[in-house]
């Protein structure tokens, strides 16, 4: 039969084995009373026991801002306020969470946890650069409309390229701010078919490729080809649908524009 383990010891062991985090505590004079975590080595602290008892301002002075943000957060914590921020440190960066420590409702110190944010920030920067390049490319293609739709209903759009206004005459803002705006622009004879197709595409997180008709702002019937693919995260979870629209030929249609819009 296994004996009951000391919860505090288990937490300490866990923290010592987490490579990207560390925690600390201070008293009301902002002297360190506790410090632990493997990520301390990123700060150049190999033996936390040598740092405990020192004033916090001395320990954090090597930070890029001289420790100003950290000290400000701790002073706020002594006043009862929680703070979250990103702290650069040499070639690293940390997500920092600082909280007041209370005993019987009285603030008796400050506690915090830092998580290595370096990989996340690099990934976010790369994503922003990629999105900027992508938008620059697609917004220079004169006849191709690109879009991003979240999964699920109602049909919503979080990005659509400016070419949509040239194609259909509606400003991009309407697609971004009006749920189911795409549905309202479907040709009445295509609406039921496309709703079934789109429902299946969203439910199955699947690709779609097909043609249908949309009613433009001036009443024209615009035939488009729509290509949609799901975009996945690194774990294989679908995040959203990304696709493009392109006109496949302005074909004559005897449907009266006013009747088409009225029946929509």
pLDDT block averages, 10 residues each, the chain of length 264: 52 61 92 88 86 93 89 95 88 88 94 81 62 60 80 88 91 92 94 92 88 95 92 81 82 40 43
State the pLDDT at residue 5: 55
The structural domains of the chain, ordered by start, are: 7-120 (3.30.450.20), 139-263 (3.30.450.20)
Name the β-bridge partners of 208.
228
Matching residue, tokens 């019987």: 104
pTM, two decimal places: 0.46
State the pLDDT at residue 120: 65
Residue 123's Cα: distance from chain center in Å? Answer: 11
State the pLDDT at residue 213: 96
């Amino acid at each position: 039969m296994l004996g009951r383990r000391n919860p505090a010891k288990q937490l300490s062991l866990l923290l010592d084995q987490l490579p990207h985090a560390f925690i600390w505590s201070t008293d009301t004079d902002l002297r360190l009373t506790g410090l632990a975590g493997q990520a301390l080595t990123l700060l150049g602290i190999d033996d936390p026991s040598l740092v405990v008892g020192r004033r916090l301002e001395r320990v954090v002075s090597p930070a890029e801002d001289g420790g100003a943000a950290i000290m400000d957060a701790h002073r706020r914590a002594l006043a009862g306020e929680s703070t979250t921020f990103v702290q650069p440190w040499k070639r690293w960066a940390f997500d920092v969470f600082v909280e007041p420590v209370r005993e019987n409702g009285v603030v008796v110190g400050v506690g915090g946890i830092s998580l290595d944010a370096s990989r996340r920030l690099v990934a976010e920067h790369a994503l922003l650069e990629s999105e900027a390049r992508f938008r620059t490319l697609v917004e220079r293609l004169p006849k191709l409309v690109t879009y991003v739709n979240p999964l699920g209903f109602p049909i919503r759009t979080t990005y659509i390229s400016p070419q949509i206004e040239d194609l259909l005459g509606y400003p991009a803002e309407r697609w971004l701010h009006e749920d189911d705006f795409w549905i309202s622009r479907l040709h009445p004879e295509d609406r039921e078919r496309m709703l079934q197709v789109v429902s299946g595409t969203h439910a199955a997180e699947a690709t779609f490729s097909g043609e249908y008709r949309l009613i433009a702002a001036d009443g024209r019937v615009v035939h488009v080809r729509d290509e949609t693919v799901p975009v996945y995260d690194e774990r294989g979870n679908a995040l959203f649908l990304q696709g493009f629209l392109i006109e496949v030929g302005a074909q004559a249609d005897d449907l009266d524009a006013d009747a088409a819009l009225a029946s929509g």
